[in-house]
Amino acid sequence: MSTVMGEAPEFEFDACWRLHPMVALRPEPFGALLYHFGTRKLSFLKNQTVVDLVRALPSHPDAWAAFQAAGIDRSAARPYVTALSALVRSNMLVRATADSDSDSQS
């Protein structure tokens, strides 16, 4: 994938994703609230499946595995990809790396 400098990353099925280290997820009656302590942005997740995907993404080798574990096939994936893409563009979700995995365990 080529990325132009300054261009927002895109959500991709073959990548592993996690919440940005400065993002907290708080369960709410409507779904969940994401707060980014670095940018002070809020995101409201009003769909429980999206909340479940956000929580599950780091524990799967790639996003597609998380979708499959949630019982979402490619024909039904579009609204969830749209939601997760918005979270990537707002820097709530970031690609997981070996370094980020070790950071979260310390």
DSSP string, 10-27: ---TTS-EEE-TTEEEEE
Domain range annotation of the chain: 17-91
Beta bridge partners of 44: 33
Contact 61, 13 (CB under 8 A): no
Can you give the pTM of this predicted structure? 0.82
**pLDDT tens, the chain, 106 aa long:** 333 444 556 899 999 999 999 999 999 999 999 999 999 999 999 999 999 999 999 999 999 999 999 999 999 999 999 999 999 999 999 999 865 544 444 4
Domain covering 17-91: architecture: Alpha-Beta Complex (3.90)
